[in-house]
Amino acid sequence: AMIDKAGYPHFMLKEINEQGSVLRRALFGRTASDLIDLSGEWGITPEKAKTFKRMDLVACGTSFYAATVAQRVLEKYLKVDIRVDIASEYRYRPLRAGGDTIAVFVSQSGETLDTLEALRHVKELGAYTVAATNAPNSSIAREVDDVIRLNAGIEIGVAATKTFTAQMAVLILAGLYLAKLRGELPGADEKRLAEAMKDLPYKVEQTLLLKDVVRSLARKFGAARDFLFLGRGVSYPVAMEGALKLKEISYVHAEAYAAGEMKHGPIALLDEELPVVVVAPADELLEKTLSNVEETRARKAPVIIVTTENVPDVNDVSGTIKVPMTEAELTPFLTVLPLQIFAYESALLRGCDIDQPRNLAKSVTVE
């Protein structure tokens, strides 16, 4: 079928706005009211699931950040050693992986060469391999043992948006399902997370309504040359994804740091000219991140906070974006959205070619 922009000025904006329905499709058939069940598409047996001692999540770019969110969520439930790595590093490492390893390759296109080679590398060692991909007929999909589909619909914008959302969803669902097969997922957590996920698509749509607030912040910082993005826990990969989006399409330098690591370097950069975007939803790390906001404010750096509705206003910041409340593990589905819009609006202001940014390709099939 012909894919058009459906009235949007750019594919990226169309794809950002599709994320509620993308998430509905990613959850469809995999969650019931209080159950997580992938048995319809993933034939792994409980016996097989119990053999794993190690899970490797491997990807590039935005897919790597989705994998990192999943790792942070799943390590709480899945009692295996979960590692996450960039494909171009993983493929050359001396892996101690083998038959006790489940290796998950996260690739929107299923054609990224480094990811494909990483898959071949660990497959040779005897690992059980799974792909999370939007392209079920791709090279990666053909070579793995099992495929979990994103069902996100074709993504045209070079900067990935809706596939990031779909990847987080399928990785979290598949990992929780694996934990369930292993007898490690308490029924109460399954119910709590399944119910919270069911409410997410609507909350995504509510969050997308914040676009005017985000646009005015992008304008306020339209002349900034550098940005620092901070987050902890699940919000650290969200900060990385926010910085990546800004670099990719607006060509503004942006660096992401784990908030607790700021004191080991980036703090030296802070002044009036370095806006700091802090991803700080309500979770068990909020207080720690807010103390980083204090440190930042004390050095006169302007702060934009992305938080949840239940968090009281922080004084003396340049902007606050409040997304709906959800379970702490699931906040990345909402906090990433203003960062995608911020990058989009910043690129628009700077006159950049949003759907075809310079030097980048949608799918990288070279080393």
State the catalytic residues: 362
- Distance (Å, rounded) from C-alpha 25 to C-alpha 29? 8
Provide CB contacts within 8 A for 344, sequence distance 6+. Answer: 10, 12, 13, 16, 245, 249, 354
- Distance (Å, rounded) from C-alpha 40 to C-alpha 95? 32
Instruction: Report phi then psi at 306, rounded to 5.
Output: -110, 115
Scanning 70-78, 154-162, 287-295, 334-342 for contacts with ligand G6P by CB under 6 A, the matching segment is: 154-162
Nearest one of 253, 311, 255, 301 to 281, comparing CA atoms = 311
Site string for ligand G6P, 334-363 (x = CB under 6 A): --------------------------x-xx
Scanning 46-54, 56-64, 142-150, 283-291 for contacts with ligand G6P by CB under 6 A, the matching segment is: 56-64
Nearest one of 114, 27, 121 to 63, comparing CA atoms = 114
Q: Which is nearer to ligand G6P, 160 or 306 (CB)?
A: 160
Q: Which is nearer to ligand G6P, 240 or 280 (CB)?
A: 240
Write down the H helix ranges in 18-111: 19-27, 46-49, 61-74, 87-90
DSSP 8-state code for residue 31:
B
- Distance (Å, rounded) from C-alpha 334 to C-alpha 326? 9
Residue where the block lists tokens 């989705």: 66
Q: Which is nearer to ligand G6P, 60 or 103 (CB)?
A: 60
Q: Which is nearer to ligand G6P, 127 or 150 (CB)?
A: 150
For ligand G6P, the binding residue among 132, 160, 200, 354 (CB under 6 A) is 160
Site for ligand G6P (CB under 6 A): how many residues?
A: 16
Residue 139 near ligand G6P by CB under 6 A: no
284, 331 Cβ separation under 8 angstroms? no
170, 132 Cβ separation under 8 angstroms? yes
- Distance (Å, rounded) from C-alpha 92 to C-alpha 263? 32
Residue 320 near ligand G6P by CB under 6 A: no
Footprint of ligand G6P on 107-126 (CB under 6 A): 107-109, 112, 115
State the minimum distance, in angstroms, from the CB of residue 102 to ligand G6P: 19
Q: Which is nearer to ligand G6P, 160 or 304 (CB)?
A: 160
230, 256 Cβ separation under 8 angstroms? yes
State the minimum distance, in angstroms, from the CB of residue 306 to ligand G6P: 21
State the minimum distance, in angstroms, from the CB of residue 170 to ligand G6P: 13
Residue nearest to ligand G6P (CB): 61
At 88, list the tokens.
């171009």
Q: Which is nearer to ligand G6P, 156 or 364 (CB)?
A: 364
For ligand G6P, the binding residue among 60, 174, 176, 339 (CB under 6 A) is 60
- Distance (Å, rounded) from C-alpha 357 to C-alpha 216? 23
State the minimum distance, in angstroms, from the CB of residue 271 to ligand G6P: 32
State the minimum distance, in angstroms, from the CB of residue 117 to ligand G6P: 12
State the minimum distance, in angstroms, from the CB of residue 160 to ligand G6P: 4
For ligand G6P, the binding residue among 78, 144, 158, 174 (CB under 6 A) is 158
256, 250 Cβ separation under 8 angstroms? no
Q: Which is nearer to ligand G6P, 314 or 364 (CB)?
A: 364
Footprint of ligand G6P on 61-100 (CB under 6 A): 61-63
Strands in 99-173 per DSSP E: 101-107, 128-133, 146-149
Residue 364 near ligand G6P by CB under 6 A: yes
Give the DSSP per-residue string, 55-75: EEEEE-HHHHHHHHHHHHHHT
- Site for ligand G6P, rule CB under 6 A: 60-63, 107-109, 112, 115, 158-160, 360, 362-364
